[in-house]
């Protein structure tokens, strides 16, 4: 079997890319030929197929660095609305390699849904994995002014435009709305044969947005647990993994430590304080509440250092304030035998089994979060008990073989229910 996997980056920058390279590695072990399709970028991993990659939308690698120029503006519009270059290049790749299916991970704002139409013009099956809510929300995360908002779910974009939801830019918001209206008019997403959601919560949102339930399959992500040795002892610290974006709710984990000042436990955050206005507000809060000794920024960790940091944690915290779409941090924590304390929202309320693989608290409620963390302080064996159940859930529900069997079945056009667990 031969599959083209499409993602707008061919280097690791976040969850979709981590998944992409894991999928490619697993598929190779199964004898499946996976061909990448992406956007040309100096950071890309080497592949002989880069000659087919689409042009970047500007000379800058990241949106925030994009300089104002006519050329870059045209590139931005092209990539956001309909990328004809990507459509043409993918059709050429399909003709030259004769794949059985195209597996799309993330195309918005770069490759654009033009690649869906490209595959269908060549008569190739399309499976699209959903990692956020770009189909229904101009900002992708159902957040407006840092509050949950679903106004755009059924095509009403007035609130998004009024609040300049896309990077606080009226032009940027209008451009995304224009693109979404174009996709609705051309019915391009109807060309997708199967949508893959990582959790039931996301699946239900797609159904609410008008996608037929018959075209959606729920296939949780996976991790190769054979490469990870669980650790059931801890060094008395709570761990926040990932970037300190507002929607990740880092500030609520920090506020929770206000209630745990008299304990031996600390909060460790992978990353560091930047010069951004939001990060400086967080740092000022830490200083004003004398939490310098309770909140430790470890700097960015990778490889063995990151593995060691997770292994020795009491639990991993996930205080998100948006509809997290099955974050990798939860699955990684489970693999290491670590329970997760998370907001009761979105997929987190689905994958964290309260009282068994971790604990759930009311979103944005630092005191409630602190009460859950206090349980670990009062019971030295709690982390191990929940951690063992977390590892068992990971081995059972998020294993490599189960995931790959289901996705390959969908790429072949079979019903996922036919795959035996």
Q: Residue 372 is part of a domain; what is its CATH number? A: 3.40.50.2000
Question: Is residue 153 in a domain?
Answer: no
Q: Is the pLDDT of residue 36 over 90?
A: yes
Q: Which of 142, 135, 332, 131 is nearest to 219 (CA)?
A: 131
d(CA 244, CA 252): 11
Whether 411 and 393 share a structural domain: no
d(CA 276, CA 32): 44
Whether 266 and 322 share a structural domain: yes
Whether 311 and 218 share a structural domain: no
- Predicted confidence at residue 421, as pLDDT, reads 47
Is residue 342 within 8 A of residue 315, CB to CB? The reply is no
Count of structural domains, the chain: 2
- What confidence category does residue 91 fall into, taking pLDDT thresholds of 50, 70 and 90? very high
**183-239 residue pLDDT tens:** 999 999 999 999 999 999 999 999 999 999 999 999 999 999 999 999 999 999 999
Whether 391 and 242 share a structural domain: yes
Whether 118 and 247 share a structural domain: no
**333-375 residue pLDDT tens:** 999 999 999 999 999 999 999 999 999 999 999 999 999 999 9
Q: Is the pLDDT of residue 382 over 60?
A: yes
Whether 279 and 367 share a structural domain: yes
Angle, nearest 10°, between helix axes 114-121 and 84-97?
Answer: 30
3-state secondary structure 68-118: CCHHHHHHHHHHHHCCHHHHHHHHHHHHHHCCCEEEEEECCCCCCCHHHHH
Whether 31 and 121 share a structural domain: yes
Q: Is the pLDDT of residue 142 over 80?
A: yes
Rg (CA), the chain: 22
Whether 201 and 279 share a structural domain: no
Whether 214 and 314 share a structural domain: no
Question: Is residue 320 in a domain?
Answer: yes
Cβ neighbours for 381, distance < 8 A, ≥ 6 positions apart: none
Could you tell me the residue range of the domain that residue 43 belongs to? 2-131+193-222+399-418
Whether 201 and 321 share a structural domain: no
Q: Which of 210, 349, 237, 340 is nearest to 295 (CA)?
A: 237
Question: Is residue 183 in a domain?
Answer: no
Whether 112 and 198 share a structural domain: yes
Whether 344 and 288 share a structural domain: yes
């Amino acid at each position: 079997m031969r599959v083209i996997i499409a993602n707008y980056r061919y280097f690791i920058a976040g969850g979709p890319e981590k998944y992409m390279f894991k999928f490619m590695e697993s598929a190779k072990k199964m004898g499946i030929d996976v061909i990448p399709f992406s956007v040309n970028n100096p950071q890309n991993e080497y592949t002989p197929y880069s000659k087919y990659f689409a042009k970047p939308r500007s000379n800058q690698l990241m949106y925030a660095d994009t300089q104002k120029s006519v050329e870059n503006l045209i590139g931005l519009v092209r990539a956001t609305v309909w990328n004809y270059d990507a459509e043409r290049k993918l059709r050429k790749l399909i003709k030259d390699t004769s794949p059985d299916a195209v597996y799309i991970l993330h195309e918005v704002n770069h490759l654009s849904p033009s690649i869906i139409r490209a595959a269908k013009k060549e008569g190739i099956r399309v499976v699209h994995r959903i990692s956020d809510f770009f189909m229904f929300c101009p900002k992708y995360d159902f957040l407006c002014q840092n509050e949950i908002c679903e106004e755009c779910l059924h095509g009403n974009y007035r609130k998004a435009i009024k609040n300049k939801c896309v990077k606080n830019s009226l032009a940027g918001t209008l451009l995304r709305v224009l693109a979404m209206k174009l996709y609705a008019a051309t019915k391009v997403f109807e060309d997708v044969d199967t949508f893959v959601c990582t959790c039931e919560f996301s699946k239900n949102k797609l159904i609410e947005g008008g996608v037929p339930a018959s075209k959606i399959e729920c296939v949780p992500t996976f991790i190769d647990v054979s490469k990870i040795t669980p650790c059931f002892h801890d060094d008395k610290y709570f761990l926040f993994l990932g970037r300190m974006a507002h929607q990740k709710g880092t500030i609520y984990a920090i506020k929770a430590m206000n209630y745990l000042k008299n304990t031996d436990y600390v909060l460790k955050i992978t990353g560091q304080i930047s010069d951004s206005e939001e990060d400086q507000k967080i740092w000022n809060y830490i200083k004003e509440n004398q939490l310098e000794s309770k909140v430790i920024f470890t700097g960015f960790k990778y490889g063995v250092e990151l593995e060691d940091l997770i292994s020795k944690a009491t639990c991993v915290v996930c205080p998100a304030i948006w509809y997290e779409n099955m974050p990798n941090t939860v699955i990684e924590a489970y693999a290491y035998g670590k329970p997760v304390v998370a907001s009761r929202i979105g997929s987190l309320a689905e994958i964290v089994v309260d009282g068994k693989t971790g604990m759930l608290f009311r979103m944005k409620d630092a005191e409630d979060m602190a009460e859950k963390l206090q349980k670990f302080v009062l019971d030295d064996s709690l982390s191990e008990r929940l951690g063992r159940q977390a590892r068992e859930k990971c081995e059972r529900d998020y294993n490599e073989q189960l995931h790959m069997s289901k996705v390959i079945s969908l790429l072949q056009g079979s019903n996922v229910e036919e795959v035996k667990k």
